[in-house]
Amino acid sequence: MAEIAEQAGKILGPLSGVATTWAVDLGLRLGVFEHLARSADGATADDVAKALELDPLYTKVVLRAAYAGEVLDQDDGRYRLAEHMGTLLLDPDAPAYAAGAVQTLVALRETFLDLRSFARTGEREWWGDFDPEWIDAVGENGQTYYRRMLGSVVPKLPSVQASLERGARFLDLACGVCRGPAKVVAAYPKTQVTAVDCDRYSLSTAEREMKERGVGEQFTFVQSFLEDLNIEGGHDLAIINISLHEARDIERAIERVHRALDEGGTFLVSEFPFPEREEDMRTVPGRLMCGVQAFEAHIGCQLLPTSRFVELLEGAGFNDVGSIDVTPTHVVIHGTK
């Protein structure tokens, strides 16, 4: 029989993680970590407050919480970023970049607040109903998945890499604010992108950001639900990032992607791999996946295990269907027309 202290630890451990998550989010938004990254000898709380024009007490609270969470180190009252935290929190081009995930979990508060009443009424909402903070946070988090695909998946698929090098006609589905597709264009400058999303806010933000990056002419924007996409051929590659599970009719959405690809074209489904077995939900990745399910329920869907995506692609007529495990929370399923 478990002791009460052991059971209490199962509550207190996650609670301490929540405290660290909020401290990290504040440190990012207030520029605290960026300032410390530039401070070779570290900085005191008063130094940080003065440099960033912040309240000294609030600054001390944020720094202490980040230190408690081992995000910062401290010697004689001078704080500095712990090892690798500059990469994890400040480098959006790094495959290990985690700041977007932190911001997404904080923005997820919108879902949990709504669930207080929606769990009784059964009400659902769609992307256009959400605060821009959530959409921007998802865009920031999602770009990391593209960086991993470029580094870990594309080299394992020679035909995809060759197509990108030639100048692929690339269909990006549920494109959001397009920070991920922009990484593909940066890596393969000949690429032309058809960016599809049902949310007007996301598309308008994407169009503005791509122009600011100087790649606007390489993007064509299409507002459409995945199930209603009406494109006949013309694409060598299609990617959908952590979004296929949200399709209102997944089978129809995949069929529409199949139609939009030319013969030999490849479909890459970048996804959260929901645990195949119930006992795997009690792992760290499994707990994260179950947390994401709250938002998915909010918009009327749920995550799926990798095996289900394989079945769906095969059922739609894709050939050579397989999967590549990128991280414990990221898998890419691929198939060829």
For residue 49, give the H/E element and its range: helix 45-52
Token pair 């009252």 is found at: 77
Classify each residue of 178-201 as buried b or exposed e, where b means 16 or more C-beta atoms within 10 Å of its C-beta.
bbbbbbbbeebeebbbbbbbbbee
- For residue 29, give the DSSP letter: H
pLDDT of the residue at 128: 82
Structural element, H or E, at residue 274:
none
Q: CA-CA distance, 52 to 32, in Å (whole number)?
A: 8
- Residuewise pLDDT in 10s, the chain (337 residues): 778 999 999 999 999 999 999 999 999 999 999 999 999 899 999 999 999 999 999 999 999 999 999 999 999 999 999 999 999 999 998 999 999 999 999 999 999 999 999 999 999 998 889 999 998 899 889 889 999 999 999 999 999 999 999 999 999 999 999 999 999 999 999 999 999 999 898 899 999 999 999 999 999 999 999 999 999 999 999 999 999 999 989 999 999 999 999 999 999 999 999 999 999 999 999 999 999 999 999 999 999 999 999 999 999 999 999 999 999 999 999 999 9
* Structural domains of the chain, with CATH: 4-90 (1.10.10.10), 99-336 (3.40.50.150)
pTM of the complete model: 0.90
How far apart are the C-alpha atoms of 312 and 307, rounded to whole Å?
Answer: 9
Residue found by looking up tokens 């004689």 in the block: 76
Q: What angle do CA 27, 31, 36 make, to 5 degrees?
A: 85
Sign, CA dihedral 178-172-196-252, equals negative
The predicted pLDDT at position 127 comes to: 84
Give me the helix-helix angle, 45-52 and 56-68, nearest 10°.
130
CA angle 263, 267, 269 (to 5 degrees): 170
Residue of 174, 181, 177, 189 whose CA lies nearest to 134 = 177
Largest CA distance in the chain: 65
Residue 277: predicted pLDDT: 94
Q: Give the Å distances, CA to CA, from 92 to 27, 146, 184, 216.
A: 16, 11, 14, 20
pLDDT attached to residue 170:
94
Distance CA 17, CA 88 (A): 16
The answer to whether 152 touches 219, Cβ cutoff 8 Å, is no
